């Protein structure tokens, strides 16, 4: 296996994503939807713009995902009072159920990912990964 940062991050992400979708099989959730539900867990009623930024999605891509989720009965969009251009996104009871399933699946996968890794090493890894993310953000901002 190639031990470069880009390869290991990409391969880990793809493996995590595949296992997540496997765990959520039968829920009707598709790629992109779990991270939206995960974000709405703590930010129910967030604007579409805030969701797009937090989930690292283009607004157009998010809009397609939200339209599908709305059709599935997982959420509803509502214009902000006084500003019809800003839509806020709210979980429905069905969306809350799916969000709980996503939360559980993420927890199982995170536990699996860190199996056999002591808490201090886990914390150091997460801190280092955050630094890598921040460093790459500086480069993107400079472009």
Predicted confidence (pLDDT) per residue in 82-103, tens digit: 777 889 999 999 999 999 999 9
Categorize the per-residue pLDDT at 143 as very low, low, confident or very high, splitting at 50, 70 and 90. low
Residue 138 lies in a domain: no
What is the model's pTM?
A: 0.88
C-alpha 127/C-alpha 76 separation (Å) is 36
Residue 128 lies in a domain: no
Residue 24 lies in a domain: yes
Reported as a single tens digit per residue, the pLDDT across 40-70 is 999 999 999 999 999 999 999 999 999 999 9
CATH number, domain with residue 97:
1.10.10.10
Categorize the per-residue pLDDT at 140 as very low, low, confident or very high, splitting at 50, 70 and 90. low
Neighbouring residues of 103: CB distance < 8 A, sequence distance ≥ 6: 38, 41
Range of the domain at 95: 5-116
Q: Is the pLDDT of residue 19 over 80?
A: yes
State the total domains in the chain: 1
Residue 142 lies in a domain: no
Residue 23 lies in a domain: yes
Is the Cβ–Cβ distance between 76 and 92 less than 8 Å? Answer: yes
C-alpha 79/C-alpha 87 separation (Å) is 4
């Amino acid at each position: 296996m190639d031990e470069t940062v880009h390869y290991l991050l990409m391969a880990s992400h793809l493996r995590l994503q595949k296992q997540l979708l496997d765990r959520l099989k039968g829920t009707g959730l598709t790629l992109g939807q779990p991270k939206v539900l995960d974000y709405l867990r703590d930010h129910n009623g967030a604007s579409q713009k805030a969701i797009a930024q937090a989930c690292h999605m283009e607004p157009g891509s998010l809009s397609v995902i939200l339209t599908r989720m709305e059709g599935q009965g997982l959420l509803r969009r509502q214009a902000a009072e006084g500003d019809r251009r800003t839509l806020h996104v709210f979980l429905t009871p069905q969306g809350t159920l799916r969000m709980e399933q996503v939360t559980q699946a993420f927890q199982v996968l995170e536990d699996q990912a860190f199996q056999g890794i002591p808490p201090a090493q886990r914390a150091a890894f997460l801190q280092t990964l955050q630094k890598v993310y921040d460093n790459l953000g500086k480069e993107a901002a400079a472009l």
